[in-house]
Structure 1
Amino acid sequence: MSMQQWNFGRNLLSCQMMQLPHAPLSISKAKAKRKSLQKAVTGVKFRQIMIERQKQKEKLEREKQKRRERANKARERQGKGFEAKGERRKE
């Protein structure tokens, strides 16, 4: 792997850390961004950030799941109430 390829890969990694959809067109801009964010793409730091993100995603997913369950229970309760009322009206 040439130095240029390695740098490009490193820039791609830093862009992913900055949540940019793609590598910026100019590498100097990428370097400036990286310096401004003070995030050196070292293995340990990068891994920590990714682990943190994963934890956050899992937490959000759990919250969504809880919300879905609550909403479903509420719908069930509402549905039962309507059914009972509807049956009474028919009679």
Structure 2
Amino acid sequence: MASGGSGHSAGAFDIRTVIALLFAIYGVVLVVLGFIQPDAELEKSAGLNINLWSGVAMVLFAAVFIAWARLRPITVPDDVEGDTAGE
């Protein structure tokens, strides 16, 4: 194997992508709930729209994870020399 860094990206199997997807889904749900919740719910939280702000934070967190996975991809080697698993 050459030391030139041959291999391929982990892509969708990168755990950062899975975590980002989960945070994005839950974040979007919270943002939608933040917009449609009744005023009685806002009174419980001292006028702060907790669903909206935590949803926005989760979507931003997901965006950071996606950017991290795109800028620093995990490289999986194509083959390994001296693999003795088949013996």
TM-score (norm 1): 0.30
Larger Rg: 1
Question: Larger helix proportion, structure 1 or 2?
Answer: 1
Q: Which has the higher contact order (CA 8 A, sep 6+)?
A: 2
Question: Larger strand proportion, structure 1 or 2?
Answer: 2
TM-score (norm 2): 0.31
